[in-house]
Every structure is written in structure tokens, then in C-alpha cells.
Amino acid sequence: MGLTDWIGFIGVFQILLAYFLNVIGKISNKSLVFILLNLVGATMACFASILLKYWPFIILEGVWALVSLYSLIEKIRASRI
């Protein structure tokens, strides 16, 4: 496996870990850990997809990262109120 594969693998693992931890009730989908695992994971998977020039996953992971970033910004805003 090359560097691009490892970047993608680690990114996807983080997304799946967030999902698994949420399903088994260890973290909430509104928790900072869940949001950050998704944000970092999707960003890494998107970056790997860019390196591979694979557009379907660039779009999927890019949107996933943007939604996660939006969730992070909303969480930060809510904590300041």
C-alpha cells in the first residue's frame, strides 16, 4: 500500500469508528469527538480521492467534510451562548 492508500484508509477508519461508537451508544452524534472524527476522516478520505482523481468520492467525502465542519462551527457557537 502506498501513502495515498494509507491516508484514505485512516480517513475511512475514523468515519467508521465514529459511526460504530455512536451506534453502540459510546458517543453522541452531537459530541465533539463524533464531529472531529468525521471531519478529519472525511477530509483525509477526500484528499486521498483527490490524489487518485476519483470524482465520486471527492464529492462524497468533500460534502461529508463540509457538513462536519458546519456541525463543528454550530457546536462552537452554541457553547459561546
Return per-residue pLDDT of the chain as tens, 81 residues: 899 999 999 999 999 999 999 999 999 999 999 999 999 999 999 999 999 999 999 999 999 999 999 999 999 999 987
Q: What angle do CA 71, 18, 52 make, to 5 degrees?
A: 85
pLDDT at 17: 98
- Supply the pTM of this predicted model: 0.94
Query: Which residue type sits at 59?
Result: I
Q: Which residue has the cell 453502540?
A: 24
Residue ranges of the domains in the chain? 3-80
